[in-house]
Amino acid sequence: DAKTTQPPSMDCAEGRAANLPCNHSTISGNEYVYWYRQIHSQGPQYIIHGLKNNETNEMASLIITEDRKSSTLILPHATLRDTAVYYCIVRVALGYQKVTFGIGTKLQVIP
């Protein structure tokens, strides 16, 4: 069973910020939150990950609540190319751990 829950779909206007929520209430102390996205007909692509501090890279920002039970992926200025399925997963950062993807959130960016 997936360790995370996400809304099945969301819409966002082009140029606006897309905020994608994820609940992971059973996250363990050594587990990180990872985000991947999958554009149609492609393999999943890594976006960002974090433990407890907020993280930012060239693609997105990740906000993790203080209790670490939920997080939000932020795409600051969504473009049509950001239309994809976004997966939130939790896993240990180093070493092997079987990953469960769940069904993710289908983000539709609207012109």
Partner 1 sequence: GAGVSQSPRYKVAKRGQDVALRCDPISGHVSLFWYQQALGQGPEFLTYFQNEAQLDKSGLPSDRFFAERPEGSVSTLKIQRTQQEDSAVYLCASGFLGASTDTQYFGPGTRLTVL
Contacting positions for partner 1 (CB under 8 A)? 2, 34, 41-46, 49, 85, 87, 93-96, 98-104
**What's the closest the beta carbon of residue 17 comes to partner 1, in angstroms?**
24
Q: Of the two residues 9 and 13, which places its CB atom closer to partner 1 in the complex?
A: 9
Q: Of the two residues 13 and 103, which places its CB atom closer to partner 1 in the complex?
A: 103
Distance in angstroms (rounded) separating the CA atoms of residues 97 and 28: 13
Find out whether 8 and 20 touch, Cβ atoms under 8 Å: no
Q: Exposed (0-12), middle (13-18) or buried (19+): which is 49, by Cβ within 10 Å?
A: middle
**What's the closest the beta carbon of residue 18 comes to partner 1, in angstroms?**
19
